[in-house]
Amino acid sequence: MKNILEASFVEEMVEVTSNLYRLGWDERNGGNISYLLDEAEVSEYLDTTNVLRNISMDFDGTALKGKYFIVTGSGKYFKNVAKDPANNLGVLKVAEDGQSVDLLWGYTDGGVPTSELPAHLMSHIARLEVDPENRVVMHCHATHLLAMTFSHELTSKAITRTLWEMCTECMVVFPEGIQVLPWLIPGSNEIGEATAEKMQEARLVLWSFHGVYGAGRTMDETFGLIETAEKAAQVYTYVQAQGGVRQTISDENFIALAKQFGITPNPAFFEAAQVTSR
């Protein structure tokens, strides 16, 4: 077997958790990541029949049974992942009963996956229905996006429009917009179900007074998605500090942008104009 610490999926988890901590988006044990893996890739590094532990979960994951994931651990600090991946990460397989996961590697101190594992798996199920290539679900406490939920009109349309207007690339990066949830108890199935429902419509879901969930096909795509929205939220913060918006991108500008890049923005986030990519 190859050394799993040299596996690309472990290296990617180490890199992204380090960057999230560096940016201040995952303080202490805040935030969590799950990454859907190919069985063939996992088999290069692990004996997939060697189950170290079976870990129950309060969720029916039958839709994902037999699927492999690498997941950050419960109570683990992102700042520690790089120096001890085996303790802070775990490779899991959703068990045949759908009610538990088999641990194949990691959590060496006896730990368990993030308490938000059900929310992650629900989001994976939802995104795979929309995009069969989706692989990553990422949760963090992106500072300026979090701050916006306290001071901005708290609707998906209003926040999407502000983010789009703050940085021209935003509509190109997430033309479907960002969906917003009210405050819900973290780690609960309620917030997992609500997030998964919104994930049918968008790859970004903002948890009010808490943080953001992002989904994508690759680690880079997902990180870049959150990074772009967070940059726009930061610009919004600066603009408000400078006295507020005096001029901005118009619907006509957005229509031209959509045509230039061949995208179809969410029409629900426009006033009257019908925006198409062609």
User: To the nearest whole percent, how much of the chain has pLDDT over 70?
Assistant: 97
* pLDDT bracket for residue 278 (50, 70, 90): very low
pLDDT at 170 over 50: yes
pLDDT attached to residue 161: 96
Mean pLDDT over each residue of the chain, to the nearest integer? 95
- Identity (one letter) of the amino acid at 189? N
- Distance, in Å, from the CA atom of 113 to the CA atom of 96, rounded to the nearest integer, reads 18
pLDDT (tens digit per residue) in 204-248: 999 999 999 999 999 999 999 999 999 999 999 999 999 999 999
pLDDT attached to residue 272: 54
Strands of the 100-106 sheet, one edge to the other:
53-56, 100-106, 89-94, 68-72, 32-37, 136-140, 211-216, 204-207, 179-181
pLDDT at 105 over 90: yes
> pTM here?
0.94
pLDDT attached to residue 270: 87
12 catalytically annotated: no
Rg of the Cα trace of the chain? 19
- Distance, in Å, from the CA atom of 187 to the CA atom of 166, rounded to the nearest integer, reads 32
Catalytic residue among 116, 165, 176, 227: 116
> In this structure, are residues 187 and 75 in contact, taking their beta carbons and an 8 Å threshold?
no
pLDDT attached to residue 207: 97
- Distance, in Å, from the CA atom of 227 to the CA atom of 60, rounded to the nearest integer, reads 32
Do the annotations mark residue 210 as ligand-binding?
yes
Task: Return the C-alpha torsion angle 15, 17, 19, 24, nearest 10.
Answer: -170
pLDDT attached to residue 275: 52
- Distance, in Å, from the CA atom of 82 to the CA atom of 178, rounded to the nearest integer, reads 31
Q: What is the DSSP letter of 73?
A: B
CA distances 103 to 55, 71, 91, 113, 178, Å, are 7, 10, 6, 9, 33
pLDDT at 142 over 50: yes
- Distance, in Å, from the CA atom of 204 to the CA atom of 180, rounded to the nearest integer, reads 9
CATH 3.40.225.10: which residues of the chain?
1-114, 116-278
CATH 3.40.225.10 for the 116-278 domain, yes or no: yes
Q: What is the DSSP letter of 113?
A: B
User: To the nearest whole percent, how much of the chain has pLDDT over 90?
Assistant: 94
pLDDT (tens digit per residue) in 10-19: 999 999 999 9
* pLDDT bracket for residue 70 (50, 70, 90): very high
pLDDT (tens digit per residue) in 262-277: 999 999 998 754 555 4
Q: Which CATH class is domain 1-114?
A: alpha beta
